[in-house]
């Protein structure tokens, strides 16, 4: 394993998770265990060999562990160790930091897990003031519970018991609705999203996420 050979804990942290794709593998495991094929689906730009090598490194470093699910599944899954889960707030903060880049590639594809974590990082608490609600959010074939209480957001895999609305869409449409300024009516008419229940509450929920102001550019303007 390559190392910076630097005594700073930050440098050592980069020794552990700084290889290309390593931190994105951690990102893909924040919301729960995954099979190797599921990891590949969320990391389309990485080859199977690269993902396998990074998983071996992360296992060796105590960030990721592997286990076999009980029957009838009996398949192997990867998941974060207790220490590895401590990286979640760092990833959410990194999402918000990266979103301030003027060069953020907003048109690039984004996976479901990455989008859910992005929404956690780009949630605007002030927009939820006085708004207590629960939503069942389906992104493709995966259900998530979205609950708002006292300007706090819980967004995680699962289904709420009594949702005010059930929202079904895909990751790209959800990204455009929450971060791209697309109108809910436009997506409804295009058949890219369905809302069962209180549509007005669903629309308000989708409007509670926003990209931060871009950081001031240090580039010299071209003459």
Domain parsing of the chain, residue ranges: 9-97, 104-206
Q: Which of 99-103, 191-195, 219-223 has the highest mean predicted lDDT (pLDDT)?
A: 191-195
Question: 146 near 157, Cβ under 8 Å?
Answer: no
**What span, in angstroms and rounded, lies between the C-alpha atoms of 116 and 61?**
27
The CATH class for the domain spanning 104-206 reads alpha beta
Percentage of the chain exceeding pLDDT 70: 96
Domain 9-97 grouped into CATH 1.10.10.10: yes
Question: 7 near 133, Cβ under 8 Å?
Answer: no
Q: Do domains 9-97 and 104-206 have the same CATH topology?
A: no
6-59 confidence digits (pLDDT tens)? 999 999 999 999 999 999 999 999 999 999 999 999 998 899 999 999 999 999
**What span, in angstroms and rounded, lies between the C-alpha atoms of 124 and 67?**
37
Summarize the confidence of residues 54-83 as an average pLDDT.
93
The predicted model scores a pTM of: 0.91
Residue 223's pLDDT band (boundaries 50, 70, 90)?
very low
**What span, in angstroms and rounded, lies between the C-alpha atoms of 167 and 164?**
10
Whether the pLDDT of residue 203 is over 70: the answer is yes
pLDDT of residue 221: 53
**What span, in angstroms and rounded, lies between the C-alpha atoms of 138 and 141?**
6
Summarize the confidence of residues 146-153 as an average pLDDT.
95
Summarize the confidence of residues 81-93 as an average pLDDT.
97
pLDDT of residue 188: 96
């Amino acid at each position: 394993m390559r190392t910076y050979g630097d005594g700073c804990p930050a440098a050592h942290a980069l020794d552990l998770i700084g290889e290309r794709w390593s931190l994105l593998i951690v990102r893909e495991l924040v919301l729960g265990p995954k099979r190797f094929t599921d990891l590949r689906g969320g990391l389309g730009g990485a080859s199977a060999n690269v993902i396998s090598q990074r998983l071996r490194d992360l296992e060796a470093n105590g960030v990721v562990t592997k286990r076999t699910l009980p029957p009838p599944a009996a398949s192997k899954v990867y998941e974060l160790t207790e220490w590895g889960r401590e990286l979640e707030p760092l990833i959410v903060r990194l999402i918000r930091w990266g979103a301030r880049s003027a060069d953020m590639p907003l048109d690039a594809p984004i996976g479901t897990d990455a989008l859910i974590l992005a929404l956690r990082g780009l949630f605007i608490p002030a927009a939820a003031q006085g708004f207590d609600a629960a939503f069942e959010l389906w992104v493709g074939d995966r259900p998530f519970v979205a609950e708002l209480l006292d300007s706090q957001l819980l967004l995680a895999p699962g289904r709420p018991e009594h949702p005010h609305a059930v929202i079904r869409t895909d990751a790209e449409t959800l990204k455009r609705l929450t971060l791209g300024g697309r109108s809910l009516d436009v997506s409804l008419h295009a058949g890219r999203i369905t809302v069962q229940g209180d549509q007005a509450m669903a629309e308000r929920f989708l409007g509670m996420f926003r990209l931060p102001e871009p950081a001031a550019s240090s580039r010299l303007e071209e003459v």
